[in-house]
């Protein structure tokens, strides 16, 4: 058996692991990274990137279809045809290019790459099963970046028509009838995309509202889109079982009143959350403390075992790629002697629905619950010229800024509307730097841009919005 000794061993080449490994390489640390699948992890291979590609293709298809029907913008077109096989191939091409790019970056920074499954015998030693045999790795530091996987619902049955979000990104054809269990961000993103592609979509959601992590003011424009596009939304309902039929499946669900109803579908997509990958690689041999289902870490991402670190989804919420990457960089710096805590003021989250939702920091209700006396500034995209020129001001979207009433320190920023994901980094920066309403109001914003809504929301919080 080949034995490798290294300064740093990174397990998992997702957005946390590969960033940690690259930064370790840049800092001159002898580094090995082990990945059982492809470089890039869930986000790049079967999550964030492929789903956004599918969303983009679906939106373009919907736009052309609209031009064919309504001659909007003075543009007319013939009815478009969808070759879904080509769409999936285009999406796969993007994934392949980015995955290969990650591998090239690791090589450039002298990180040794091993393809295989790592199993730990103790905190610093593991055996990797590769295609060419076993490799033993002994490390001084171990960075665990094992990621997460979809939560399954075994009680539904074992129908081949029950699919995960990963499988939904590689279907051979667009399902005529798609039932989605869970109206969180994953279910809504994929469901809206498939509705644009022509599927009849039904959501089964156990909560009383979609996107339970957001308040109803933010989710209302999304609900309006679902209603306008004849998408069925069944809230306070629980999926019970899936039964195969001659032309698909029948999904049984329990309503809030306790009755059992059924719907017919071609595919049933389960999107009820994700769980950390803590099984099957020897976690029990490492003597680490747990925080519920997650590995417990301190502010430096250090576990209970000396020189064993954990980052990303296996350490808890929010399960976001950019959180994992930031944790990976911080750990690399700490291992190199530049002790760097992972202590962000806020982490922005984006839901790529129709329209998009951005949230960073505290919502109005959360701020009040923490005892703050607040002022709220709000401005609609309907009054923004750039939004109107992009047909983006008709969906009820807005920017909302939550600030302390006494000193105007910004506590949170939320937005809903077309293209608002591109504003998320500005909002995160504002909270990280401790910006006040006056900082936004005193910054000259480019005209015409969607970002002017942020300026006007800050002015509204100060009591003198200009354009409304």
Q: Can you give the CATH number for the domain in which 93 is found?
A: 3.50.50.60
Instruction: Name the nearest CA neighbour of 309 among 45, 4, 24, 97.
Output: 24
CATH code of the domain containing 418: 3.30.390.30
- Judge if 361 and 329 occupy the same domain: no
User: How far is residue 60's CA from residue 197's CA, in Å, rounded to a whole number?
Assistant: 10
- Judge if 228 and 308 occupy the same domain: no
Kindly provide the b/e burial profile for residues 75-93, where b requires at least 16 CB atoms within 10 angstroms of the residue's own CB. eeeeeeebeeeebbeebee
- Judge if 313 and 166 occupy the same domain: no
Half-sphere exposure of 200 (CA within 13 A, CB side): 6
Catalytic residue flag (residue 447): yes
User: How far is residue 354's CA from residue 192's CA, in Å, rounded to a whole number?
Assistant: 7
- Judge if 12 and 127 occupy the same domain: yes
The answer to whether residues 166 and 152 touch, using CB atoms and an 8 Å cutoff, is no
Residues in the chain: 468
- Judge if 380 and 455 occupy the same domain: yes
The DSSP annotation for 416-462 comes to EETTGGGGHHHHHHHHHTT-BHHHHHTSPPPSS-TTHHHHHHHHHHT
User: How far is residue 252's CA from residue 234's CA, in Å, rounded to a whole number?
Assistant: 12
- Judge if 7 and 137 occupy the same domain: yes
- Judge if 289 and 212 occupy the same domain: no
Using the Cα atoms of residue 159, residue 165, residue 166 and residue 168 in order, give the sign of their dihedral. positive
Instruction: Flag whether 177 is in a domain.
Output: yes
- Judge if 370 and 455 occupy the same domain: yes
Give the per-residue pLDDT at 393. Answer: 84
Instruction: Flag whether 313 is in a domain.
Output: yes
User: How far is residue 391's CA from residue 407's CA, in Å, rounded to a whole number?
Assistant: 37
Give the per-residue pLDDT at 175. Answer: 98
Give pLDDT < 50 ranges for the chain.
none
User: How far is residue 330's CA from residue 408's CA, in Å, rounded to a whole number?
Assistant: 31
Instruction: Flag whether 318 is in a domain.
Output: yes
The answer to whether residues 273 and 184 touch, using CB atoms and an 8 Å cutoff, is yes
Instruction: Using the structure block, give the residue that is written with the tokens 């922005």.
Output: 348
- Judge if 130 and 279 occupy the same domain: yes
Q: How many domains does the chain have?
A: 3
Instruction: Flag whether 66 is in a domain.
Output: no
Instruction: Flag whether 342 is in a domain.
Output: no
Instruction: Flag whether 384 is in a domain.
Output: yes
Catalytic residue among 229, 408, 447, 464: 447
- Judge if 38 and 179 occupy the same domain: no
Return the axis-axis angle of helices 84-108 and 17-26, rounded to nearest 10°. Answer: 30
Structural domain including 395 reads 349-461
- Judge if 29 and 141 occupy the same domain: yes
Instruction: Using the structure block, give the residue that is written with the tokens 């690399």.
Output: 332
Give the per-residue pLDDT at 234. Answer: 97
Give the per-residue pLDDT at 77. Answer: 86
């Amino acid at each position: 058996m080949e034995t490798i000794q290294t300064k740093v061993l990174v397990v998992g080449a997702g957005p946390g692991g590969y960033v940690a490994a690259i930064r370790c390489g840049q800092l001159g640390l002898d580094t090995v990274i082990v990945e059982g699948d492809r470089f890039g992890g869930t986000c790049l291979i079967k999550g964030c990137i492929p789903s956004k590609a599918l969303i983009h293709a679906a939106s373009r298809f919907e736009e052309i279809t609209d031009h064919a029907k309504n001659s909007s913008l003075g543009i007319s077109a013939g009815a478009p045809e969808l070759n879904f096989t080509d769409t999936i191939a285009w999406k796969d091409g993007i994934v392949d290019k980015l995955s290969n790019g990650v591998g090239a970056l690791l090589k450039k920074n002298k990180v040794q790459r091993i393809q295989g499954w790592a199993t730990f015998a103790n905190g610093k030693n593991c055996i990797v099963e590769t295609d060419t045999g076993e490799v033993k790795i002994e490390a001084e530091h171990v960075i665990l970046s094992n990621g997460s996987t979809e939560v399954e619902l075994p009680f539904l049955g074992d129908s081949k028509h029950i699919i995960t979000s990963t499988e939904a990104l590689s279907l051979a054809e667009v399902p005529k009838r798609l039932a989605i269990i869970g109206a969180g961000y994953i279910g809504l993103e994929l469901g809206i995309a498939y509705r644009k592609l022509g599927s009849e979509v039904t959501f089964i959601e156990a909560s009383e509202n979609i996107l339970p992590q957001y308040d109803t003011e933010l989710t209302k424009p999304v609900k309006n889109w679902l209603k306008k596009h004849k998408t069925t939304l069944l809230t306070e309902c629980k999926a019970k079982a899936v039964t195969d039929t001659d032309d698909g499946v029948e999904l049984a669900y329990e309503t809030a009143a306790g009755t059992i109803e059924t719907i017919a579908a071609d595919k049933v997509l389960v999107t009820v959350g994700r769980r950390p990958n803590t099984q099957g690689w020897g976690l029990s041999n490492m003597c680490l403390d747990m925080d519920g289902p997650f590995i417990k870490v301190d502010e430096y991402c250090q576990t209970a075992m000396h020189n064993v670190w954990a980052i990303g989804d296996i350490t808890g919420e929010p399960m976001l790629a950019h959180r994992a990457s930031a944790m990976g960089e911080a750990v690399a710096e700490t291992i190199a002697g530049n002790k760097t805590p992972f202590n962000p003021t806020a982490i922005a989250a984006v839901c790529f629905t129709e329209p998009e939702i951005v949230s960073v920091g505290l919502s109005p209700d959360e701020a009040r619950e923490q005892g703050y006396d607040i002022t709220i500034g709000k401005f609609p995209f309907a009054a923004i010229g750039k939004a109107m020129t992009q047909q983006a001001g008709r969906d009820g979207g807005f920017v909302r800024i939550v600030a302390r009433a006494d000193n105007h320190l910004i506590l949170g920023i939320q937005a809903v509307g077309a293209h608002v994901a591109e504003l998320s980094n500005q909002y995160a920066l504002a909270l990280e730097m401790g910006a006040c309403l006056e900082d936004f109001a005193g910054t000259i914003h480019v005209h015409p841009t969607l970002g002017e809504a942020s300026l006007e929301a800050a002015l509204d919080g100060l009591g003198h919005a200009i354009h409304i």
